[in-house]
């Protein structure tokens, strides 16, 4: 369904703005419950969409790397026991 919607949006969008529109399209899809795995399935169908998916997946991976919820912080708080 996503690729059908993208094809319709792409047909009516300005060529110069398709990269921006593709990014917004992916953002909206994520906001409505599309998973990373579903996004990966879109790769290989359309160049602009491929780039948007890769950027979003890289950003998501970078955000996950920024936070360390491991045991590394537990030692800092052991003095409060």
Tens digit of pLDDT for each residue in 15-50? 999 999 999 999 999 999 999 999 999 999 999 999
Averaged pLDDT score across all residues of the chain: 83
With contact defined as beta carbons under 8 Å apart, do 57 and 39 qualify? yes
With contact defined as beta carbons under 8 Å apart, do 43 and 54 qualify? yes
The whole model's pTM is what?
0.71
pLDDT reported for residue 21: 96
pLDDT reported for residue 12: 96
pLDDT reported for residue 67: 55
Residue by residue, DSSP assigns 25-78 as HHHHHHHTT--HHHHHTTTTS-HHHHHHHHHHHHHHHHHHHH---SGGGTTTTG
């Amino acid at each position: 369904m996503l690729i059908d919607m993208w094809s319709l949006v792409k047909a009516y969008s300005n060529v110069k703005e398709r990269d921006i529109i593709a990014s917004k399209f992916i953002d909206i899809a994520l906001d409505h419950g599309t998973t990373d795995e579903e996004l990966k399935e879109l790769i290989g169908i359309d160049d602009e969409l491929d780039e948007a998916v890769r950027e979003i997946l890289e950003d998501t991976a970078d955000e996950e790397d920024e936070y360390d919820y491991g045991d590394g912080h537990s030692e800092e708080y052991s003095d409060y026991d």
